[in-house]
């Protein structure tokens, strides 16, 4: 089971808005000892969103989807989730009650009379139409809920708005409510060094040997061309199960010393 992230919206792909969800979700997961397994960006195209959700629903992964759950013409996520899940959109009674209460509160705050049967208010109720079988996700910002679907094999999809002020606390609620048993279950350690005057091709045999000898460790290599304050270098390191990562990193440094390669330890390795 992996944790995935889907970010939906033409405004992200066009560059009109910069995505903030990816780094925040990585941060929320990391604070709980979890890790993002994959992420995808999808524009506001129904066929593509539906195909994406049908594919991800078949994985058994835990998936967060941000964006497109409103009731304007460019919001398609609810309909696409319905098509991918294979159940019709239905009015969720709890969602309807929350949306109506939100309208009542707004009318009271503005001192206006509320007609729940007015066309614009009936239209707002579409935001509470979810695929049959959905559960709601509370929205502490304005009470308009998101929704979730259990997809089998322990997997689930969680649909939240595209607005960070709403989406992030809703994602936190999902994690803390449904997945606290997974927090910090897999200890991880990362250690790295900045390697100077060497090429990745020269270091590749060492990297392959370490991954072969330490199956619970991944080796990473991040080249940098440098800048005015930093020399060209490669950030070379290991991450994974703490005991194996410690041994693998010691092996890596010993090999670099034997190769007479210049390096300095990063903060994570000191």
Residues in the chain: 270
Looking at the structure, tell me whether residues 155 and 222 fall in a common domain: no
Regarding pTM above 0.85, the answer is yes
Domain that holds residue 254: 189-269
Which residue, of 147, 162, 182, is where some domain finishes? 182
- Rounded CA separation 120/125 (Å): 9
Q: How far apart are the first and last CA of the chain?
A: 33
206 with 160, same domain? no
Q: CA gyration radius for the chain?
A: 24
pLDDT of residue 153: 85
CATH value at residue 14: 3.40.980.10
**End-of-domain residue from the set 158, 182, 206:** 182
pLDDT in tens, 240-256: 999 999 999 999 999 99
Asked if residue 203 and residue 173 are part of one domain, the reply reads no
Strands (E), 80-232: 89-91, 129-131, 135-137, 146-152, 155-160, 189-196, 217-224
- Is the same domain home to 70 and 137? yes
pLDDT at 52 over 90: yes
> Residue 228 pLDDT more than 80?
yes
The reported pLDDT for the residue numbered 270 is 73
Domain holding 200: CATH number? 3.30.70.600
Q: Are residues 175 and 115 in the same domain?
A: yes
Q: At 239, is the pLDDT very low, low, confident or very high (cuts 50, 70, 90)?
A: very high
How many CA atoms lie within 13 Å of 269's alpha carbon, on the beta-carbon side?
21
Is the pLDDT reported for residue 154 higher than 90? no
- Is pLDDT above 80 for 148? yes
pLDDT band at 221; cut points 50, 70, 90 = very high
């Amino acid at each position: 089971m992996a944790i995935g992230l889907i970010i939906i919206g033409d405004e992200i792909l066009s560059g009109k808005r910069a995505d903030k969800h990816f780094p925040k979700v990585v941060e929320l997961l990391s604070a709980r000892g979890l890790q993002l397994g994959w992420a995808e960006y999808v524009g506001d195209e129904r066929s593509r969103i539906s195909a994406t959700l049908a594919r991800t629903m078949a994985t058994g992964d835990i998936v967060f989807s941000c964006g497109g759950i409103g009731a304007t013409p460019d919001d398609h996520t609810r309909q696409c989730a319905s098509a991918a899940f294979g159940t019709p959109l239905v009015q969720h009674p709890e969602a309807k009650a929350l949306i109506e209460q939100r309208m009542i509160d707004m009318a009271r705050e503005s001192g206006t009379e509320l007609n729940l049967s007015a066309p614009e208010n009936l239209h707002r109720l579409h935001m509470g139409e979810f695929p049959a079988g959905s559960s709601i996700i509370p929205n502490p910002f304005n009470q308009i809920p998101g929704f979730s679907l259990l997809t089998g094999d322990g997997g689930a999809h969680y649909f939240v708005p595209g607005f960070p002020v709403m989406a992030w606390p809703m994602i936190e609620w999902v994690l803390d409510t449904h997945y606290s048993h997974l927090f910090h279950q897999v200890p991880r350690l990362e250690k790295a060094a900045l390697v100077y005057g060497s090429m990745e091709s020269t270091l590749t045999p060492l990297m392959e040997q370490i991954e072969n000898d330490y199956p619970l460790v991944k080796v990473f290599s991040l080249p940098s061309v440098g800048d005015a304050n930093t020399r060209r270098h490669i950030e070379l390191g290991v991450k994974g199960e703490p005991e194996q990562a410690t041994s693998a990193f010691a092996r890596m440094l010993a090999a670099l010393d034997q190769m007479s390669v210049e390096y300095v330890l990063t903060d994570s390795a000191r």
